[in-house]
C-alpha cells in the first residue's frame, strides 16, 4: 500500500512540474519542433517542463541509489512514464503564439 501511495505522489509531482514548466515558468527558453496545423497557425513545443521533470526524475533515482532502495526505482519509472504520457495527452508544452 505504501508503494502505491508513493507512486501516486511521484506521479502528481512529475505531472505538476511538467505543467508548471510548460505553462508558467520557462527557465531554458527553448523551442522544439515547429508544426503547422493550418496555413496560419503554428505550434511550438516548449521542452522546459519536460526537462525539469527529467531532472527531478534523475535526482530521485540517484537518491534511491544512494539509499540502496533500488526496488523502489521501478515504481518511480512507472510514475514518471505515466506522468509524461498524461502530460502529452493533455498537450503540455505545446504553445500557439
At 77, the pLDDT band (50, 70, 90 cuts) reads: very high
The structure's pTM equals: 0.82
Residue-wise pLDDT for 25-74, tens only, equals 777 666 666 666 666 767 777 788 899 999 999 999 999 889 887 778 88
Cα distance between residue 92 and residue 76, in whole Å = 21
Contact 80, 58 (CB under 8 A): no
- In the chain, what is the straight-line distance between the N-terminal and C-terminal CA atoms, in Å? 44
User: Domain limits of the chain?
Assistant: 2-95
pLDDT at 33: 62
Amino acid at each position: 500500500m505504501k508503494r502505491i501511495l508513493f507512486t501516486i505522489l511521484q506521479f502528481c509531482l512529475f505531472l505538476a512540474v511538467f505543467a508548471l514548466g510548460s505553462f508558467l515558468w520557462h527557465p531554458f527558453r527553448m523551442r522544439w519542433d515547429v508544426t503547422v496545423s493550418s496555413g496560419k497557425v503554428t505550434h511550438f513545443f516548449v521542452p522546459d517542463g519536460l526537462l525539469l521533470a527529467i531532472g527531478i526524475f534523475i535526482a530521485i533515482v540517484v537518491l534511491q541509489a544512494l539509499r540502496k532502495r533500488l526496488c523502489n526505482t521501478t515504481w518511480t519509472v512507472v510514475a514518471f512514464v505515466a506522468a509524461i504520457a498524461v502530460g502529452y495527452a493533455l498537450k503540455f508544452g505545446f504553445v500557439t503564439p
